[in-house]
Amino acid sequence: MKPRLLTPGPSMVPEETLLELARPVTFHRSAEFRQVLTEVEEDLKYVFRTKNTVCILTSSGTGGMEAALANCLSPGQKAILLISGRWGERWKNLCKAFGVEAVIVSVPYGQAVPPEALKKALADHPDAKAVCATLSETATGVANDIEAYGKLVAPTPAVLLVDTISGLGVVPCETDAWNIDLNVTGSQKALMLPPGLAFVSVSPKAWKVIEANTAAKLFYFDLKKYRDKIEKESDTPYTPANTLIKAMRLSLQRMRKEGIENVWKRHAKLGAAARAGVQAMGLELFAERPTDGLTVAKMPANLDSSPLISKLEKQYGLRVANGQDTLKGKIIRIAHMGYTDQFDVLAALSGLELVLLEAGFPVKPGSGVAAAQQVFAEGVKAS
Ligand SMILES: *Cc1c(COP(=O)(O)O)cnc(C)c1O
8 A C-beta contact, residue 121 and residue 197:
no
- CA-8 nearest atom, ligand 1: 15
- The angle that helices 260-280 and 242-258 make with each other, rounded to 10 degrees, is 80
The C-alpha atoms of residue 225 and residue 349 are separated, in whole angstroms, by 46
Q: What is the pLDDT confidence band of residue 184, given thresholds at 50, 70 and 90? A: very high
pTM of the model: 0.98
Angle at which helix 223-233 crosses helix 31-48, to 10 degrees, equals 110
> Is residue 64 within 8 Å of 70, Cβ to Cβ?
no
Q: How far is the CA of 383 from the centre of ligand 1 (A)?
A: 44
Q: 87 CB less than 6 Å from ligand 1?
A: yes
Helix (H, G, I), strand (E, B) or coil at 143: strand
Cα 362 to ligand 1 centre (Å):
35
pLDDT digits (tens, 9 = 90+) for 191-231: 999 999 999 999 999 999 999 999 999 999 999 999 999 99
List pLDDT tens digits, range 73-91. Answer: 999 999 999 999 999 999 9
Could you report the per-residue pLDDT of 150-178, keeping only the tens digit for each? 999 999 999 999 999 999 999 999 999 99
Supply the pLDDT for residue 383: 78
pLDDT at 379 over 80: no
Domains and CATH numbers, the chain: 15-257 (3.40.640.10), 260-377 (3.90.1150.10)
- Cα-to-centroid distance, 216 and ligand 1 (Å): 24
- pLDDT, tens digit (0-9, with 9 covering 90-100), for 263-277: 999 999 999 999 999
User: Which atom number of ligand 1 is nearest to the Cα of residue 64?
Assistant: 9
62 lines ligand 1 (CB under 6 A): yes
- Looking at the chain, which runs of residues are DSSP E strands? 4-5, 53-58, 78-83, 101-106, 130-134, 136-137, 142-143, 159-163, 182-186, 197-202, 284-285, 294-298, 318-319, 321-322, 331-335
- Quick one: how far is CA 41 from the chain centroid? 19
Q: Could you tell me the pLDDT band of residue 301, with boundaries at 50, 70 and 90?
A: confident
What percentage of residues in the chain have a pLDDT greater than 90?
A: 98
